[in-house]
Amino acid sequence: MRTAVVWDALREVLAELAGATGRDALDIVDAGGGTGGFAVPLAALGHTVTVVDPSPDSLAALERRAKEAGVEVRGLQGDTADLGELLSPGCADLVLCHSVLEYVEDPVGALTEMAGLLRPGGAVSVLAANPVAAAIHRALAGQFDESRAALADPLGSWGDRDPTPRRFTGETLTGLLSAAGLGAGPVHGVRVFADLVPSRLVDGEPGAAEALVALEKAASAHPVLRDIATQLHVVGRRPSA
């Protein structure tokens, strides 16, 4: 439910890349892919997937998850700064950068490393936290000073205890992609309502989950609702020539 919008976008990108390359099985790199929440399902679709992550524990969990699913996913230990050393230039049709830019010191540098892995016409899927949503969630928790801090801080942080070092508006994300030499597609909101609706209204109510997913998809491109989503998603493209 929380990632339905992202999966819709990925399916569209995968179909486009398959049509452009003439290959149904694509080469995918999941930078910071952790335990394989996206990598394993993509491998199950027949794609060749490599996860690069700094955590050995996450990579071990990835290996277990892939084994349980009956698929193969290659795991490499490293940071985004290591991508160029771990992998060959032009090795990927698609790179995932999900919940990564918030934690790297140089977001443009990280995206540039990912762009270097792409073949001409390849794509990078970027998913990142949104500062406006952080302000809303802190206010709903009764932390009004922290909410105001999130709105005022250039990085979208609400304070020293904030576990997320930085957040990004849609305009910032498209600017980062442009700086990395990638063309940015439309920005979509992810988890517009899913993090606000009490679980009791969804769990056990027939059809409620499906209705919420449909609402999320409708809200993801809404010009106002998109900008209050917990996360923002955008696809960047390497020029074909």
Question: How many CA atoms, within 13 angstroms, populate the side-chain half-sphere of residue 114?
Answer: 37
Radius of gyration of the chain from Cα atoms?
A: 18
pLDDT of residue 178: 98
Q: Which of 139, 167, 195 is the last residue of a domain?
A: 167
| Together in a domain, 49 and 59 | yes
Listed in sequence order, the residues at least 6 apart from 169 whose beta carbon sits closer than 8 Å to its beta carbon are 130, 131, 132, 227, 232
| Together in a domain, 125 and 140 | no
| Together in a domain, 233 and 138 | no
| Together in a domain, 38 and 66 | yes
Per-residue exposure over 29-53, b if at least 16 CB sit within 10 Å of its own CB, e if not: bbbbbbbbebbbbbbeeebbbbbbb
Tell me, what CATH number does 125's domain have? 3.40.50.150
Q: Which of 115, 141, 167 is the last residue of a domain?
A: 167
Q: Please report, as a single letter, which amino acid is at residue 78.
A: G
| Together in a domain, 123 and 136 | no
pLDDT of residue 33: 96
| Together in a domain, 140 and 186 | no
Distant-in-sequence contacts of 60-68, Cβ < 8 A, 24+ apart = 61/34, 61/35, 61/36, 62/33, 62/34, 62/35, 62/36, 65/35, 65/36, 65/40, 66/36, 66/39, 66/40
- Angstrom distance (rounded) from CA 53 to CA 44: 20
Counted domains in the chain = 2
| Together in a domain, 44 and 140 | no
| Together in a domain, 121 and 161 | no
pLDDT of residue 101: 98
E-strand spans in the chain? Answer: 27-31, 48-53, 74-77, 92-98, 118-129, 183-184, 188-190, 231-237
What range defines the domain where residue 154 resides?
A: 131-167
| Together in a domain, 147 and 78 | no
- Angstrom distance (rounded) from CA 204 to CA 220: 25
Q: Which of 146, 167, 188 is the last residue of a domain?
A: 167
Q: Which residues pair with 234 in a beta bridge?
A: 126
pLDDT of residue 1: 75
| Together in a domain, 75 and 17 | yes
| Together in a domain, 112 and 216 | yes
One pLDDT digit (tens) per residue for the chain, 241 residues? 789 999 999 999 999 999 999 999 999 999 999 999 999 999 999 999 999 999 999 999 999 999 999 999 999 999 999 999 999 999 999 999 999 999 999 999 999 999 999 999 999 999 999 999 999 999 999 999 999 999 999 999 999 999 999 999 999 999 999 999 999 999 999 999 999 998 889 987 889 999 999 999 999 999 999 999 999 999 999 998 7
- Angstrom distance (rounded) from CA 88 to CA 149: 42
| Together in a domain, 77 and 96 | yes
pLDDT of residue 110: 97
Q: Which of 162, 163, 130 is nearest to 146 (CA)?
A: 162
